């Protein structure tokens, strides 16, 4: 099984697929289709949204019971393969996108193919996850609403831990509008947007809560036009990471309640919650199943980890669907030159995925509600 898994992964890695290159993502979708069809005995539905190519395999005539989620786009520009070619040495695989997450896609093919009957499985492999899933989000959410559980093939956390929690993300831009004036001749006639923004940045930064795991970080800021002009406009981007929906709502309410400090200044806020959190309560039941199955399979004891990064698991969890993430490859260096996969883990993790899907198919009825694009 390992040899075929490596062959499939190599085919995917050697077809470069940076998210921003629509033609490259489409080419990679062709390779994913060919590799997946050979393993699964079925062609996927090809779904192109805003020029981005996604693939969906649906097994059985009824509604989905288990949604398996992966993506075939990467952060790596065309030509990276020349600098970091696919290679396997001393039990370690390297190559752009091998960990995040082309090995996970290959694992999904192998695991589903090993099921006695995949009826009730839906496999969704998207092409824009590294951009935040702008076109595939409605598709993912619709599939999640129809399924009883979602299994996400992103790479494992450090040490092979499954990802039992992910922070949600909110993204804002706050614009402070003032009034321009000559900085030397009549600064008092202006309304300094930079000064207004300074007041607001301090308010925004104070919204973080270290105990709750909430970070509210002003990031990119811009103001003014020339060195001798009172700035009429200033703006700042704000990155928010939260563990719970309650915290996401609290911060959002506070951001929308900001009011100007300087007379004559006006505030405009854009943005808001981008991805809901994957709360650990949403993953706990699936994690318990996975731990028991790993024990039955004679695998090392599984651990869980809450991580700060977001994935499509945030979107499935946001629909109220039980979600377990980090079921893909074990390794390190995602988005870095030392991206790698540890081969020793692959057979056991793929067997675990098969067993988890089989148990969920046997135990969980389909959800009665099936809304969205199907």
Catalytic residue flag (residue 73): yes
Run of H or E residues at 351: helix 346-363
List CB contacts of 283: < 8 A, sequence separation 6 or more: 162, 163, 164, 165, 304, 317, 322, 323, 324, 325
Q: Which of 8, 100, 128, 129 is catalytic?
A: 129
> Going along the chain, which residue ranges are E strands?
45-49, 52-58, 66-71, 87-89, 92-94, 121-126, 149-152, 162-166, 168-177, 215-223, 233-242, 266-275, 304-307, 322-324, 331-332, 340-342
Catalytic residue flag (residue 339): no
Q: Which of 16, 73, 100, 130 is catalytic?
A: 73
> Percent helix, strand, coil in the chain (nearest 5)?
35, 25, 35
Do the bridges between strand 304-307 and strand 162-166 make them parallel or antiparallel, or are there none, so unpaired?
A: parallel
- Closest-CA residue to 284 (of 167, 166, 364, 164): 164
Q: Which residues are catalytic?
A: 73, 129
């Amino acid at each position: 099984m390992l040899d075929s898994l490596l062959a499939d992964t190599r085919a995917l890695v050697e077809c470069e697929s940076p998210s921003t290159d629509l033609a490259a993502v489409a080419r990679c979708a062709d390779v994913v289709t060919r590799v997946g069809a050979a393993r699964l005995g079925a062609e996927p539905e090809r779904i192109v949204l805003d020029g981005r190519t996604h693939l969906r395999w649906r097994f059985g005539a009824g509604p989905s019971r288990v949604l398996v989620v992966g993506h075939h786009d990467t952060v790596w520009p065309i030509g990276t393969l020349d600098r970091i070619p696919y290679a396997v040495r001393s039990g370690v695989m390297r190559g752009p996108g091998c960990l995040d997450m082309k090995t996970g896609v290959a694992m999904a093919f192998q695991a589903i193919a090993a099921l006695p009957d995949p009826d009730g499985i839906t496999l969704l492999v998207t092409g824009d996850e590294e951009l935040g899933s702008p076109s595939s989000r409605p598709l993912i959410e619709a599939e999640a609403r129809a399924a009883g559980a979602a299994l996400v093939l992103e790479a494992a956390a450090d040490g092979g831990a499954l990802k039992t929690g992910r922070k949600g993300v909110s993204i804002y831009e706050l614009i402070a509008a003032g009034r321009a004036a000559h900085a030397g001749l009549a600064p008092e006639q202006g309304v300094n947007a930079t000064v207004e923004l300074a007041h607001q940045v301090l308010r925004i930064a104070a919204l973080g809560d270290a105990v709750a795991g909430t970070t509210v970080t002003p990031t990119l800021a811009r103001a003014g036009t020339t060195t001798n002009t009172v700035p009429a406009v200033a703006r700042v981007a704000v990155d928010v990471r939260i563990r719970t929906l309650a915290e996401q709502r609290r911060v959002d309410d506070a951001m929308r309640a900001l009011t100007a400090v300087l007379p004559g200044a006006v505030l405009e806020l854009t943005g808001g919650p981008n991805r809901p959190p994957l709360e650990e309560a949403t993953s706990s039941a699936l994690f318990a199943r996975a731990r028991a199955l790993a024990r039955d399979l004679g695998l090392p004891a599984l651990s869980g980890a809450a991580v700060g990064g977001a994935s499509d698991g945030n979107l499935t969890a946001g629909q109220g669907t039980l979600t377990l993430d980090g079921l893909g490859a074990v390794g390190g260096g995602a988005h870095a030159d030392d991206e790698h996969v540890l081969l020793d883990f692959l057979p056991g993790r793929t067997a675990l995925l098969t067993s988890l899907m089989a148990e969920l198919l046997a135990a969980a009825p389909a959800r009665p509600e099936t809304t969205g694009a199907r």
